[in-house]
Amino acid sequence: MKKQFLLLLLLAVSYSYSQSVNDYKAVIVPLKYDFLNGENQYRLSTLTKFNLNKVGFVAFYSKETIPGEYSNRCDLLYVDVVKESGFLTTKLYITMKDCNDKIIFQSAVGRSKEKEYQVAYTEALNEAFQSVYDLQYKYSGISTAKVQSAIQPEVVKPATASVTVVKTAVSEPVVGIALLTDSNLLYAQPTATGFQLIDSTPKVIMKLFKTSQPNSFIAIKDTVQGSLILKDNQWYFEYYQNDKLISEKVAVKF
């Protein structure tokens, strides 16, 4: 008994000092952050999940149905994006907490001096994610829940604590998934005058301006101005080059 007690004590001490994001199988992304007014406003939840998937995490939205292999909430990390107050500067950082609300990781603060919220939040969040990329996440295969159970075998968690979620009528953003499967796909972000098309970086590739026709936009790509037109359920960027009409197929997700 004494040897078993010492072994458990050693395991507890070791666990308390070596806990890292690599000990967690998946992450949960909320559809609304406290500093925003609505779900997935400015597509920040979409951007968060996309970056987490790109890092190597298995990521789920908080209202998404989770497979049984991820049903133990203590095997999961819970992601949040926090806004710091700043004069003329947007400041965001990322936290990852365990099932006991303990912070396992906190990123550096990402900053942007852009005035438009959409651009500022996107820029600041991407900068904050550089800290997450630096982690070089790789799941260790050691279940955090099993380690906790070994340390405290007498604790019985109520069944209601399980992360069993119900799919709601909220449409799940699919941009992150699409970008992962098609590197050329551009994602449309709303602006005051139309849309801007970004890639998976995300980098602004093209700016669109509304016209009187819903399937036609004035389009600017770098220094080239033309039109983005929907033909046969496919978007085309058309412009003149040396008096010749050029038509380029563009994959866009609105």
Domain shared by 101 and 125, yes or no: yes
Q: pTM value?
A: 0.53
Domain shared by 225 and 196, yes or no: yes
Amino acid 93: pLDDT: 96
Domain shared by 52 and 133, yes or no: yes
Residue 155 has pLDDT above 60, yes or no: no
Residues 160-177 have pLDDT tens digits of: 444 444 444 444 443 333
Window from 5-9, 78-82, 126-130 with minimum mean pLDDT: 5-9
Domain shared by 188 and 151, yes or no: no
Closest CA to 89 of 112, 108, 58, 66: 112
Domain shared by 184 and 166, yes or no: no
Domain shared by 207 and 140, yes or no: no
In whole angstroms, what is the distance from residue 110 CA to residue 10 CA? 38
Residue 188 has pLDDT above 80, yes or no: yes
Amino acid 218: pLDDT: 92
In whole angstroms, what is the distance from residue 155 CA to residue 178 CA? 42
The last residue of one of the domains, among 135, 170, 205, is 170
Averaged pLDDT for residues 113-138: 93
In whole angstroms, what is the distance from residue 254 CA to residue 245 CA? 26
Range of the domain at 91: 2-170
Amino acid 10: pLDDT: 41
The single residue listed with the structure tokens 């550096």 is: 108
The last residue of one of the domains, among 127, 142, 170, is 170
Domain shared by 105 and 190, yes or no: no
Instruction: Specify whether the CB–CB gap between 181 and 190 falls below 8 A.
Output: no
The last residue of one of the domains, among 170, 190, 214, is 170
Count of domains for the chain: 2
Residue 2 has pLDDT above 80, yes or no: no
Domain shared by 159 and 205, yes or no: no
* Neighbouring C-alpha atoms within 13 Å toward the C-beta of 33: 24
Residue 252 has pLDDT above 60, yes or no: yes
Window from 48-57, 193-202, 209-218, 226-235 with minimum mean pLDDT: 193-202
CA distances from 134 to 56, 105, 131, 242 (A): 12, 12, 5, 46
50: its two tokens: 């996309």
Show the DSSP H helices in 102-197 as ranges: 117-134, 144-151, 175-181
Averaged pLDDT for residues 115-142: 91
Averaged pLDDT for residues 209-236: 89
Residue 109 has pLDDT above 60, yes or no: yes
